[in-house]
Structure 1
Amino acid sequence: MKARVTIMLKDGVLDPQGEAIRHALGGLGHKGVSGVRQGKLIELDLDATDADAARAEVAKMCEGLLANTVIEKYSIEIV
């Protein structure tokens, strides 16, 4: 079983990398981009066979290590 974790900065948290990307896109002629939020995608290969148990375990991983829950939010997809 595979889990995909998407981690993004929470709304209202300054995203300097996203702003740098937006500025660079404008410099390359892509004028229609008014905002960019940059995040990370983590894929985990799991031995679990139960999707609900896998989701709960991945949530513990996010809370303990993968995401800084003070400034980041995360979503989990089991595939």
Structure 2
Amino acid sequence: MAKKFNSKVYVTLRPSVLDPAGTAVESGLHQLGYQGVENVRIGKYIELTVTADSEESADRQIHQMCDQLLANPVIENYSFDLTPMS
């Protein structure tokens, strides 16, 4: 029987990739007086619900989604949380 799973996907630029948006945010924070902020990186957060026969199947599907569409594997890393729905 198929089950539903909630997933929270986090996509970030690889450390070796320059992040001009992160640099701009860091500069803005410094201008606002937050001098202790450094190494700002901007990413994406995606929530989705997957229906699958098992948690392993849902995990596999989300990995495929990330590799094919949600993240650019050349310049981005991703991670996700997977939680069964009640």
CA distance in 2, matches of 1:27, 1:49: 51
Contact 1:55–1:76 (8 Å) recurs in 2 = no
Q: Which has the higher strand share?
A: 2
Structure 2 unaligned runs (5+)?
A: none
Unaligned runs of 5+ in 1: none
> 1:16 maps to what in 2?
20
CA distance in 2, matches of 1:42, 1:72: 14
Question: Which one has a bigger Cα radius of gyration?
Answer: 2
Q: Contact conserved, 1:5 with 1:42, CA < 8 A, in 2?
A: yes
Correspondence for 2:76: 72
Q: Which runs of 4+ in 1 moved over 4 A?
A: none
Q: Given the superposition, is the C-alpha separation of residues 49 and 28 from structure 1 closer, same or farther in structure 2, using an over 3 Å criterion? A: farther
TM-score where L is the length of structure 2: 0.87
RMSD between aligned residues: 1.0
Q: State the match for 1:52 in structure 2.
A: 56
Q: How far did residue 49 of structure 1 move?
A: 4.9
Over residues 32-71 of structure 1, what are the superposed CA-to-partner deviations in whole Å (9 max), with x where a residue is unaligned? 0121011001001112252211110000001111101000
Q: Within 2, Cα distance between the matches of 1:49 and 1:18?
A: 39
For 1:34 and 1:43, how far apart are their aligned partners in 2? 27
